[in-house]
C-alpha cells in the first residue's frame, strides 16, 4: 500500500476551501516537506494546484472534474460508486493482507471518539487519529465542507485504494465543531510504519 497516496487523500479532505479566498497548505511527513498546495475558490469553482497538477471542483453543481474521462462526476455518482466499492471490499475481505486487514475493514464503517474545545478538535480511532488546531469561525463554511467532501470522493475514486468513508466522517466532525483548521496532525496507527503527517494552513 502506498503510504503517501493514503495520507494525501486524508490530508486533502481536511484542508480548507473557503469562498473567495486563497490558501497555502504546507504538507510534511515526519518533519520533511512533501508538497505545497495552492487553493483558490471564486464564483463557485475551487481549484487546487500542486506543482503541475490542477484539480477543479464545481461547488454549485456538486461535482468534480475527471481529467482522465474529460467529464464532470456528480455527488450522486460518487455516492453510488462508494456504496458499490464498500460491497466489493466486504465480499473480498478474506484476501486483504493481514497487516492492514483491520484498518481496511474499519475504513468501511469508521468511528471516532471526538473531543472539541473552542480552538481544537481531536478524533481518535486507533486506526487514523487527527489533532486539529484552529479557531472558531462565524463564516458560512458550506463551500469549505462541500469541496472537502467532493475531494474525498475524488481521491478514493481515482486512486482506487480505499473508500472515502473515514475522510467523510472526519469532515463531518469538523463541520459540527465549526473549527477552521490551521494545523492538522494525522497519525495512522492502523498501517505499520505509516508516517506522521502535518499540514500548516495559511492565508
User: Which residues of the chain carry a pLDDT beneath 50?
Assistant: 1-14, 16-19
Nearest to 76 by CA among 164, 143, 141, 150: 150
- What pLDDT sits at residue 102? 95
Nearest to 170 by CA among 120, 117, 97, 113: 113
- What pLDDT sits at residue 79? 97
Distance CA 6, CA 2 (A): 6
Distance CA 56, CA 102 (A): 33
- The per-residue pLDDT for range 12-53, each reduced to its tens digit, is 444 544 445 677 889 899 999 988 888 788 888 999 898 888
- What pLDDT sits at residue 201? 82
**In the structure grid, which three cell numbers stand for residue 69, read together?**
474521462
**In the structure grid, which three cell numbers stand for residue 109, read together?**
464503517
Distance CA 128, CA 166 (A): 8
**In the structure grid, which three cell numbers stand for residue 90, read together?**
466486504
**In the structure grid, which three cell numbers stand for residue 38, read together?**
495552492
Contacts of the segment 19-24: beta carbons below 8 A, 24+ positions apart: 19/44, 19/140, 19/143, 21/203, 22/203, 23/201, 23/202, 23/203, 24/201, 24/202, 24/203
State the virtual CA torsion across 157, 39, 127, 160 in degrees, nearest 10. 10
- What pLDDT sits at residue 42? 86
- What pLDDT sits at residue 9? 45
- What pLDDT sits at residue 94? 93
CA angle 194, 98, 29 (to 5 degrees): 5
Distance CA 84, CA 5 (A): 22
- What pLDDT sits at residue 20? 59
Amino acid at each position: 500500500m502506498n503510504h503517501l497516496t493514503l495520507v494525501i487523500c486524508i490530508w486533502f479532505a481536511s484542508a480548507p476551501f473557503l469562498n473567495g479566498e486563497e490558501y497555502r497548505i504546507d504538507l510534511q511527513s515526519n518533519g520533511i516537506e512533501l508538497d505545497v498546495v495552492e487553493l483558490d475558490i471564486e464564483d463557485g469553482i475551487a481549484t487546487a494546484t500542486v506543482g503541475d497538477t490542477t484539480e477543479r471542483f464545481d461547488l454549485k453543481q456538486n461535482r468534480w472534474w475527471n481529467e482522465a474521462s474529460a467529464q464532470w462526476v456528480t455527488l450522486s455518482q460518487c455516492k453510488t460508486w462508494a456504496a458499490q466499492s464498500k460491497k466489493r471490499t466486504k465480499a473480498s475481505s478474506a484476501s486483504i493482507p493481514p497487516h492492514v486487514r483491520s484498518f481496511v475493514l474499519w475504513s468501511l464503517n469508521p468511528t471516532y471518539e471526538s473531543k472539541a474545545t473552542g480552538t481544537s478538535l481531536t478524533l481518535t480511532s486507533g486506526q487514523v487519529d487527527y489533532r486539529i488546531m484552529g479557531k472558531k469561525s462565524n463564516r458560512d463554511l458550506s463551500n469549505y465542507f462541500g469541496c472537502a467532501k467532493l475531494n474525498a470522493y475524488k481521491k478514493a475514486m481515482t486512486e482506487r485504494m480505499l473508500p472515502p468513508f473515514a475522510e467523510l466522517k472526519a469532515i463531518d466532525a469538523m463541520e459540527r465543531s465549526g473549527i477552521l483548521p490551521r494545523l492538522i496532525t494525522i497519525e495512522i496507527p492502523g498501517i505499520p510504519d505509516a508516517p506522521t503527517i502535518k499540514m500548516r494552513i495559511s492565508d
